[in-house]
């Protein structure tokens, strides 16, 4: 061990460069995994609350509003527990160049928040944007017929729901219909709840058969879609990153293979004074482990601090949109030991192998042959 | 001291492992989602019945899954096709 440490210190600048490079690579890789993991965790904890099936109307493949009377027809289907019409849509706040997601809910659901048909509940992101434009107590919506509808801001949602509610305004359903110019019988889509979750595919097929022009989406579709998209987004970044990682290890291997005459001489001297092949390899192993393990630990620590304390500036834009409303979401900490192991096995053993293999080649030769 | 350098390296690693442990404990205490927070999130999603995560509005289907266009299944993922049989096969194989 002492020899390995002395060897590291003898070539300190070269080894320092290697440590810094490996730390940066570990940092990027772990940051990517940690962000993706946090988002998936957030999605997973609320997925059960979503409707089991969503039905959306289409005309000529283009999405359109649905008739609320469909609710009663769907309730007649065996296995359906509850059906609710959803009224929601995007409101374009042109001044700030953002779109608010307006969600209308029934009056009785808003009672506990003390919200009536002249008030709204807003997400944190919405509140910040409105305050920026001096809408502290109320906001003026412009109706579809051009009239102004003044609604008072009752309160904002808790910061813990930021990832879910950041761009949302919740208000009375009828008020929302008035703003968007919906008819009384119109809704954006219909949410279906099924009593027995294993019957969801059957009921989805029944609905599709009954309403050929409707788009039927199940909760499983939403779950799979999100998973695929996150894997796709992180996969693009990861595939580019793996190329960098691979290139790094090829450089290390190449560097170790083309060792300088000084290092060859050193191994030759060690062999001459009685070191066996195992001893040389052990020394190299310690050296590689010290460098790679310290890089791994520093990279992991830095990535945890970067993601959860500084909230991953720059890197989170891979997953988030460019809308200013969506920039201000925070990642929740989730400890996933699997990720630590994955990153460990992607960095440390590969570096150790890239270092030991060329040294093994040299150490198997005779001392005089190495020193020649 | 005979093994001064070894002791030095072991101390360095001890400090690094302790730092990692400290950072993880601190983050768990400060930034993890508590049970009461989970309930609040679930109540919110129950109220709005909306697909969650205000993350990526440029791909509109990410914010509201029902908004994905027909072309998205070819450009992004065939699992975006609604009631895709692949959804159930994939869900059986892996958890999110």
Q: Rounded to whole angstroms, how far apart are CA atoms A165 and A330?
A: 12
Query: Same domain for B5 and B51?
Result: no
Overall average pLDDT of the A6-34 stretch: 84
A3, A283 Cβ separation under 8 angstroms: yes
Interface residue of A16, A49, A91, A106 to substitute, partner B, most B CBs within 10 Å:
A49
Per-residue model confidence as pLDDT tens digits over A127-182: 988 998 998 888 999 988 888 999 999 888 887 777 778 888 999 999 999 999 99
pLDDT at residue A266 tops 80: no
DSSP A129: H
Residue A302 clears pLDDT 90, i.e. is over it = yes
Do B85 and B51 fall into the same domain?
yes
Strongest mean pLDDT among A48-52, A218-222, B1-5, B53-57: A48-52
Q: What is the rounded CA–CA span in Å between residue B51 and residue B37?
A: 18
CA distance A75 to A260: 79
Number of domains in chain B: 2
Per-residue confidence (pLDDT) for residue B84, from 0 to 100: 45
Chain B residues inside the 8 Å CB shell of A46: 41-42, 44-45, 52
Q: Are residues B41 and B85 in the same domain?
A: yes
Which band of pLDDT confidence, cut at 50, 70 and 90, is reported for residue B36?
confident
Q: What is the mean pLDDT of residues A94-116?
A: 83
Q: What is the predicted ipTM? A: 0.72
Answer yes or no: do B60 and B45 share one domain: yes
Cα A98 to Cα A292: distance, rounded to the nearest angstrom: 46
Which of B15, B48, B79, B81 has the highest number of chain A CBs within 10 A, making it the mutation to test binding with A? B48
- Domain of residue B9: give its range: 1-32
DSSP-derived 3-state class of residue A198: helix
CA distance B56 to chain A (A): 4
Spacing of C-alpha B48 from chain mean position? 22
A180 interface with B at CB cutoff 8 Å: no
pLDDT score, position A166: 81
Residues B60 and B93 in one domain: yes
Contact assignment for B77 to A201 by CB distance below 8 Å: no
Least confident of A7-21, A24-38, A104-118, B67-81: B67-81
Distance of CA B74 to the CA centre of its chain: 25
pLDDT exceeds 90 at position B19: yes
More confident site: A39 or B12? B12
One domain, residues B24 and B5: yes
Q: Are residues B12 and B27 in the same domain?
A: yes
What does the alpha-carbon distance between residue A83 and residue A67 come to, in Å, rounded to a whole number? 13
User: Average model confidence (pLDDT) for chain A?
Assistant: 82
Q: Report the pLDDT value the prediction gives residue B77, as an integer from 0 to 100.
A: 52
Q: Which residue has the tokens 């029934």?
A: A106
Q: Does one domain contain both B13 and B38? A: no
**A164 → closest Cβ in B27, B44, B79:** B44
Same domain, B39 and B19: no
**A121 contacts A170 by C-beta, under 8 angstroms:** yes
Hey, are the CB atoms on A321 and B56 less than 8 Å from each other? yes
3-state secondary structure of B38: helix
- The pLDDT of residue B78 is 52
Domain match, B43 and B11 both = no
Closest by Cβ to A161, choosing from B5, B44, B76? B44
SS3 state at A212: coil
Instruction: Give yes or no: residues B53 and B86 share one domain.
Output: yes
Q: Where are the alpha helices (DSSP H) in B3-96?
A: 4-31, 35-48, 60-63, 72-75, 85-93
Question: For strand A189-194 and strand A148-156, is the pairing parallel, antiparallel, or unpaired?
Answer: unpaired
Q: Are residues B14 and B47 in the same domain?
A: no
**Which chain A residues are closer than 8 Å to B7 by Cβ?**
none
Of residues B16, B57, B64, nearest to A294 (C-beta)? B16
Chain A residues with beta carbon closer than 8 angstroms to that of B40: 158, 160-161
pLDDT in tens, A130-144: 998 998 888 999 988
Note whether B35 and B41 are within 8 A (CB): no
Return the ∠ at Cα B73 (arms to A225 and A318), rounded to 5°. 60
For chain A, list the strands marked E by DSSP: 53-59, 62-64, 66-67, 80-93, 98-105, 119-122, 138-142, 148-156, 168-172, 186-187, 189-194, 215-218
Q: State the SS3 of A309-354.
A: HCCCCCHHHHCCCCCHHHCCCCCCECCCHHHHHHHHHHHHHHHHHH
- Give pLDDT tens digits for A314-358: 777 666 655 555 556 677 888 888 888 988 988 888 888 888 877
For position B64, what pLDDT does the model report? 53
């Amino acid at each position: 061990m002492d020899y390995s440490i002395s060897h590291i210190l003898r070539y300190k600048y070269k080894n320092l460069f290697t440590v810094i490079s490996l730390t940066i690579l570990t940092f990027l890789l772990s940051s990517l995994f940690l962000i993706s993991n946090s988002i998936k965790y957030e999605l997973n904890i609320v997925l059960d609350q979503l409707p089991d099936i969503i039905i959306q109307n289409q005309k000529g493949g283009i999405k359109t509003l649905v008739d609320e009377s469909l609710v009663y027809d769907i309730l007649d289907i065996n296995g359906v527990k509850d059906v609710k019409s959803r009224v929601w849509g995007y409101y374009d706040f042109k001044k700030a160049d953002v779109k608010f997601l307006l969600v209308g809910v029934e009056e009785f659901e808003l009672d506990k928040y003390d919200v009536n048909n002249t008030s709204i509940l807003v997400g944190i992101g919405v509140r910040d944007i409105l305050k920026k434009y001096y809408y502290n107590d109320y906001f003026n919506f412009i109706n579809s017929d051009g009239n102004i509808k003044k609604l008072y801001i009752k309160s904002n949602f808790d910061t813990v729901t930021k990832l879910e509610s950041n761009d949302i305004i919740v208000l009375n359903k009828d008020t929302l219909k008035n703003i968007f110019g919906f008819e009384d019988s119109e809704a954006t889509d219909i949410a279906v709840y099924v009593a027995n979750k294993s019957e969801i595919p059957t009921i989805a097929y029944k609905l599709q058969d009954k309403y050929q022009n409707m788009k039927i989406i199940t909760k499983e579709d939403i779950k799979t879609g999100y998973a695929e998209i996150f894997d796709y987004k992180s996969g693009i970044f990861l595939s580019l990153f793996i190329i960098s990682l691979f290139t790094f290890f090829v450089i290390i291997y190449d560097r170790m293979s083309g060792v300088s005459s000084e290092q060859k001489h050193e191994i030759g001297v060690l062999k001459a004074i009685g070191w066996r092949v195992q001893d040389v390899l052990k020394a190299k192993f310690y050296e590689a482990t010290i460098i790679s393990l310290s890089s791994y630990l520093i990279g992991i620590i830095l990535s945890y601090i970067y993601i959860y304390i500084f909230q991953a500036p720059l890197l989170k834009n891979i997953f988030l949109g460019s809308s200013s409303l969506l920039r201000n979401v925070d990642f929740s900490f989730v400890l996933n030991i699997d990720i630590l192991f994955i990153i460990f096995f992607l960095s440390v053993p590969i570096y150790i192998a890239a270092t030991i293999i060329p040294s093994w080649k040299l150490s198997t030769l005779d001392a005089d042959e190495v020193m020649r | 001291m005979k093994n001064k350098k070894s002791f030095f390296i072991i101390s360095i690693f001890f400090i690094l492992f302790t730092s990692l442990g400290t950072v993880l404990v601190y983050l768990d205490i400060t930034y993890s989602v508590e049970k009461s927070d989970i309930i609040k999130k679930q109540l919110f999603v129950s109220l709005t019945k909306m697909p969650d995560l205000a993350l990526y509005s440029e791909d509109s289907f990410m914010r509201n899954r029902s908004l994905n266009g027909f072309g998205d299944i070819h450009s992004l993922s065939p699992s975006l096709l609604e009631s895709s049989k692949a959804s159930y096969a994939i869900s059986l194989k892996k958890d999110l």
